[in-house]
Structure 1
Amino acid sequence: MPQFAVDGAELTYDDEGPRDPEGVPLVFIHGWTANRHRWDHQMEHFAAGHRVIRLDLRGHGDSTGIGARAIADLAGDVMALLDHLEVDRFIPIGHSMGGMIAQTIALTHPERVERMVLVNSISRMAYSRGRGLLMAASTRVPFKLFVAANIQRAFAPGHPRHEIKEYIRASAATPREVVMTLYDAMRAFDVLDRVGEIRVPTLMVHGYHDIQLPVHQMLRMAKGYPDAVIRIIDAGHELPVEKPKELTAALDWFLSGPPSRP
């Protein structure tokens, strides 16, 4: 597993697929308390014909480091890695918090973004009442119980329990300081009034049963985008692992070049 040192962190990443000088790499960015393996299905599929890069954000998965206080800090890590890999233009594909990172990159480095995909993500954090109460109670319950409750709610009803338990275990391995600091970072994230500046073709894929970031929040965001298409899939918040084939099919369609809107 290659690693890259940046600002006190060691970022673990994968860089696979053909190095086509005419191609545009895909950069997969995972969400809060997750890791790069959320994208295993997409990685295996797209690496056959694309250069595909994914990373564990600082403090997540196999990466070390803490200290990120804002979504912009994580976006800076991603850009530092891509500069290190000599990647110019690319397609960011972000899930949940990863979608916030992708939007931040699109706003700060528009010349580098070819097009963009947001999976179960939004432009302004607005928690549902249930999740707001859960987060308010986070300082009063054991950390592992807090993580377990969040991950359990992220999946649509009926998802296999043994898989959910494995994702809970992986998420609970994320340091508490990272989890809580980045919760505050997500709570502060708000680019809703700026999304009209993001003029690249953008695909928004969302789970119909997402109660973490409900569909109506995504639709509010989509109204501001000049060039966005939407796909709704019968899943919860963890679309990359709940319905990996359906998500990959949506990405395939979008990356093959759907008509751009004026």
Structure 2
Amino acid sequence: MPQLEVAGAALTYDDEGPRDAMLTPLVLVHGWTANRHRWDHQVAHFRGGRRVIRLDLRGHGASTGVGVRTIAELAEDVLALLGHLGVERFVLVGHSMGGMIAQTIALAHPERVERMVLVNSIGRMAYSRGRALLMAASALVPFKLFVAANIQRAFAPGYPREEIREHVRTSSGVPREVVMTLYGAMRTFDLLDRAGEIRTPTLMVHGYHDVQLPVRQMLRMAKAYPDAVVRILDAGHELPVEKPAELTAALDWFVTERP
């Protein structure tokens, strides 16, 4: 697994697929407490014909590093990796917190983002009563219980319990400092008032049963985008693993067929 040293972190990444100058590389950014393997289905589909880059964000998966406080800092990590790989222009795909990172990059460097896909993501964090209770409880309950509660509620009813337990195990391996500081970073994330500035053609794919970031919040953001397409799937918050084939098909259509 290749790694890149960036600002006190070692970022683990995969860079796969052919270097075809006619096809813009895909860059896949995972969400909070996840890792780059959330994108396994999408990578398996695209790497046969297109360059695909994905990374473990600092403190996640096989990457090291703590102390990051903002979504903008994570965006700088992604840009540092792309600079290292010599990728100037790309299609940016972000899930949940990864979508917040994607929007941050699209606003700062619109000339570099050819298209953008936001998966279960929003432009402004708005907390439901359930999420507010979890946040209040975070200081009172054991850390692993807090993480487990957040992950379990991310999936739509009926998703296999044994697979949820595996995702809980993976998320529980992220250092507490990283989990809680990035929870705070998402809590203060707010680009909604600037959404109209994002001229990048954007696909927003969301789960109808998403209680983490409800679909109505995404639709509020979508209305502000000058060029957005919305797809709503029968799933919860974890579309890359809940409905991998349907998400991959939507991505494929957007990057290869949509004018």
User: TM-score normalised to the size of structure 2?
Assistant: 0.99
Runs of at least 4 residues off by over 2 Å: none
SS in 2 for 1:223: helix
Give the corresponding residue for 1:81: 81
Q: CA deviation at 1:131?
A: 1.0
Give the corresponding residue for 2:57: 57
Aligned amino acid, residue 158 of structure 2: G
Deviations 1:237-256 (A, max 9, x none): 00000000000011111111
Provide the aligned length of Structure 1 versus Structure 2: 259
Q: What is the CA–CA distance in structure 1 between the aligned matches of 2:244 and 2:214, rounded to whole Å? A: 19
Aligned amino acid, residue 92 of structure 1: L
Q: What is the CA–CA distance in structure 1 between the aligned matches of 2:113 and 2:75, rounded to whole Å? A: 13
Aligned amino acid, residue 45 of structure 2: H
Q: What is the CA–CA distance in structure 2 between the aligned matches of 1:28 and 1:255, rounded to whole Å? A: 13
Give the corresponding residue for 1:20: 20
Give the corresponding residue for 2:94: 94
Taking the TM superposition and a 5 Å limit, the aligned residue runs for 1:165-204 are 165-204=165-204
Aligned amino acid, residue 150 of structure 1: N
User: TM-score normalised to the size of structure 1?
Assistant: 0.98
Q: What is the CA–CA distance in structure 1 between the aligned matches of 2:21 and 2:45, rounded to whole Å? A: 20
Deviations 1:47-66 (A, max 9, x none): 01110000000000000001
SS in 2 for 1:114: strand
Q: CA deviation at 1:257?
A: 3.4
Aligned amino acid, residue 151 of structure 2: I
Aligned amino acid, residue 133 of structure 2: L
Q: What is the CA–CA distance in structure 2 between the aligned matches of 1:252 and 1:69, rounded to whole Å? A: 33
Taking the TM superposition and a 5 Å limit, the aligned residue runs for 1:4-15 are 4-15=4-15
Deviations 1:73-95 (A, max 9, x none): 00000000000000000011000
Give the corresponding residue for 1:238: 238
- Give unmatched runs, 5+ long, in structure 1: none
Give the corresponding residue for 2:145: 145
Give the corresponding residue for 1:47: 47
SS in 2 for 1:110: coil
Give the corresponding residue for 1:135: 135
Q: What is the CA–CA distance in structure 2 between the aligned matches of 1:141 and 1:222, rounded to whole Å? A: 36
Aligned amino acid, residue 242 of structure 1: E
Tell me the percent identity: 78
- Give unmatched runs, 5+ long, in structure 2: none
1:157 aligns with 2:157: yes
